[in-house]
Amino acid sequence: MAVPVPAEKLFLIGDLPVTNSMVNAWVAIAAFVVLAWLLRRPKNGAPRGIQNAVEALLEFMLGFMDQVTGDRAKSRRFFPLVGTLFLFIVLSNWMGLLPGVGTFGLNGEHGHLIPIFRPATSDLNMTLAMGIAAVVMSHAFGIVSLGFFRHWNKFIQLGTFWKALIGFRHKSPVDYLLGIFVAFIELGVGLIELVSEVAKMVSLSLRLFGNIFAGEVLIHVISSLIAFVVPIPFMFMEVIVGIVQALVFSLLTLVYLTIATSKPHGEEEGHEQKHKSQELSVKASATA
């Protein structure tokens, strides 16, 4: 029996269908809750045992994020989202490789076995939801960091268009018309950028879903042909793929967050020029 593309329904909670990928996600979330409770800081404040290893892992992840953000404060702000996505994707991917997963479940129609567990990231609904959440959160962080109008002016550049429109007093007719034309071009580019935001959601979700689902199909086919020994190398390969895909998804999310919270390009250049001019004036006054 081939692996179906949509996740399979196990039972209903009211009108909500519960699929095998949802069960996998719930188990992963429960595992994180239990792990967080076990790793809670002791009353004396001194970590011990596995807590030291976990803190070392978190410090390594923060250091890796610093290479993208260039700012430890930003890394700490983004870590709850990016770190959670990374760990959730890794655990969900690896849970599908545990012994017995996919071999026991419920009897469906015509004697078809419906596995109780299926990797959550092999369900397009789950990956699409995570892709949408990643992009939406990048805009939320951007609005909080820059303000609503400054952030959205990166896309719908009404501010630039308005400045060009009211600049007729200080420009010649040719420069004024050229400024209006450039403002229209920038407005169109901003609208294209909005389309690219939707493309980010689609690319994030399809990339993760495609790789994990393809791995599920590969393991299923190999196990159907030869059940012993031969599938083991492919399982090790899927372990690596699980880490790589989690890293790619979380790293792209971090890049989106960093870009969204950065100042517009023109403002950064203006700020740098202003800072340099201030330094030059200070040096000149000191020399004088």
Query: Which residue intervals of 39-157 are DSSP H helices?
Result: 50-69, 72-95, 124-146, 148-152
Q: At what angle do helices 124-146 and 72-95 cross, to 10 degrees?
A: 170
Instruction: Please report, for residues 6, 249, 279, the alpha-carbon distance to residue 210 in angstroms, rounded to integers and kept in the order given.
Output: 12, 13, 53
* Residue 269, both tokens: 């250049």
Q: Which residues contact 194 (CB under 8 A, 6 or more apart)?
A: 155, 156
Instruction: Please report, for residues 4, 36, 261, 267, the alpha-carbon distance to residue 264 in angstroms, rounded to integers and kept in the order given.
Output: 45, 38, 9, 5
Whole-structure pTM value: 0.79
Q: Within its chain, how far is the Cα of 240 from the centroid?
A: 19
Mean pLDDT for each 10-residue chunk of the chain (288 residues)? 72 84 89 84 68 84 90 91 92 78 66 76 90 93 88 74 65 71 74 85 91 82 75 82 91 92 63 42 40
273 located within any domain: no
Query: Which residue intervals of 158-264 are DSSP H helices?
Result: 158-165, 173-225, 231-260
121 located within any domain: yes
Structural contact between residues 251 and 133, judged by C-beta atoms closer than 8 angstroms: no
How far apart CA 75 and CA 24 sit, in angstroms, is 29
120 located within any domain: yes
How far apart CA 251 and CA 265 sit, in angstroms, is 22
Contacts 24+ apart (CB under 8 A), 153-159: 153/264, 154/190, 154/193, 154/264, 155/190, 155/191, 155/193, 155/194, 155/197, 156/187, 156/190, 156/191, 156/194, 157/183, 157/186, 157/187, 157/190, 158/187
Structural contact between residues 179 and 164, judged by C-beta atoms closer than 8 angstroms: yes
Q: What is the pLDDT of residue 285?
A: 40
214 located within any domain: yes
277 located within any domain: no
Residues of the domain holding 202: 18-36+52-262
Question: Domain total for the chain?
Answer: 1
279 located within any domain: no
Indicate the SS3 state at residue 9.
Answer: strand
Q: What is the pLDDT of residue 287?
A: 42
246 located within any domain: yes
Structural contact between residues 28 and 95, judged by C-beta atoms closer than 8 angstroms: yes
114 located within any domain: yes
Q: What is the pLDDT of residue 134?
A: 93
